[in-house]
Chains A and B, each alone.
Chain A
Amino acid sequence: MSKINERLKKLHTIALVVALAVFLLVVVYEIHNLDNNSKRYLSEHYISEGVRETGAINLVTSVLYDYRAFDTLGEATVILTAAAILSLLVPVSKATMLGTKFSIIVYQTTKFSIPFLAVLGVHLIFFGHLSPGGGFVGGVVLSIIPILLTITYGVEFSESKLKPAKKKLVEDIGAIGFILLGLLGVVTGSNFLANGQANFGPGNTGELISAGLIPYLNVMIGIKVGAGLAIIFNSLIKEK
């Protein structure tokens, strides 16, 4: 009897997976046929007019930080809230991580890869409007640095190099700076977080300082996401 029960349990799991697969197949098939009906005027507008209106070559960035910048503000606020609540709820205690001694290879590789990670993250943030990448991805790359330090060398070393108070300050600068940059659009007589509609001028398309507010918004989101994820990780590792 128990054998049959176990078989049934396995069958149940497989049936669930197959049902989900069929459902996703139907959904993807419907989405695949979307270009038959003519509801794509918005995406066609973005593709044909995006570079001229915003000045950013990377159309994904132009949607994220200009047309739909308010959504980006919401996403960034989620990380800020998570980091704030975690650092409030988790009690301040000695960090305990079940010890694993690494070999010297791990320590040396970590040491050598950290400068490359820093350069890659800063490049992704600064060239977000010209090449693939952007503030969010660059911030995650930057946040990998304290996470690697914590895993290989321990929490004490990581927090002596990058103080938690400084990380919180950087995150707050990012959060408030994003909103202040958004209010700049209101000051110049347009909407909140307006960039292409306000008269900042897109500049010479393709240069580093161009596309109005987008590079500065990228920097703000980058430092905010990086510091926020580092705070979340260090808070979680301190939790008993």
Chain B
Amino acid sequence: MINLIFNLLMIFLVITAFFMVFTKDISNSVIALPVFGVILVVIFVILQAPDAAMAEAIIAAGLTTVFFVITINKTEY
């Protein structure tokens, strides 16, 4: 069961990464980044690395998104 979930999450990770790179709208790309981070957090927890999971959660969902949002805001997109 856990193997099935793990493989599904890996596939979703690849799908999210491709969506992030190839989408036209830049806001969609920025919002897809935390989704990628959340999936990666679950994978880290399955791999028993809570330290890396916590750092990934707070940096991907909090910091990087905020910095990207403020950059898009500044460029008057």
Chain A interface (Cβ within 8 Å of chain B)? 13, 17, 58, 60, 97-98, 124, 132-134, 136-137, 140-141, 143-144, 147, 151, 229, 233, 236-237, 239
Compute how far the CA of A233 lies from the CA of B51 in the bound complex, rounded to whole angstroms. Answer: 25
Minimum CB–CB distance for A16 against chain B, Å: 10
Question: A143–B54 Cα gap in the complex (Å)?
Answer: 15
The residue that B76 contacts in the complex, of A17, A98, A137, with Cβ under 8 A, is A98
Q: Is B15 an interface residue (CB 8 A)?
A: no
Q: List 11 A-B contacts (CB under 8 A).
A: A13-B21, A60-B51, A124-B54, A132-B53, A133-B51, A136-B55, A137-B55, A141-B58, A143-B63, A236-B67, A236-B70
Out of A58, A124, A132, A237, name the residue touching B70 (CB < 8 Å).
A237
Chain B interfacial positions (CB closer than 8 Å to A):
18, 21-22, 50-51, 53-55, 58-59, 62-63, 66-67, 69-70, 73-74, 76
A140's contact among B21, B22, B62, by CB below 8 Å, is which? Answer: B62
Which residues of chain B have C-beta atoms less than 8 A from A137's C-beta?
A: 51, 54-55, 58
| B residues near A134, Cβ cutoff 8 Å | 51
Nearest CB in chain B: distance from A145 CB, A = 10
Pair B67/A132 contact, Cβ less than 8 Å:
no
How long is the Cα–Cα vector from A133 to B63 in the complex, in angstroms? Answer: 16
Residue of A nearest to B14 (CB): A21
B70 touches A233 (CB 8 A): yes
The distance in angstroms between the C-alpha atoms of A151 and B66, with both chains bound, is 9
Q: Give complex CA distance A204, B26 in Å.
A: 52
Contact A229 B63 (CB under 8 A): yes
Closest to A61 in B: B51
In the bound complex, CA of A98 to CA of B18 (Å): 30
Which residue of chain A has the shortest Cβ distance to B73 in the bound complex?
A98
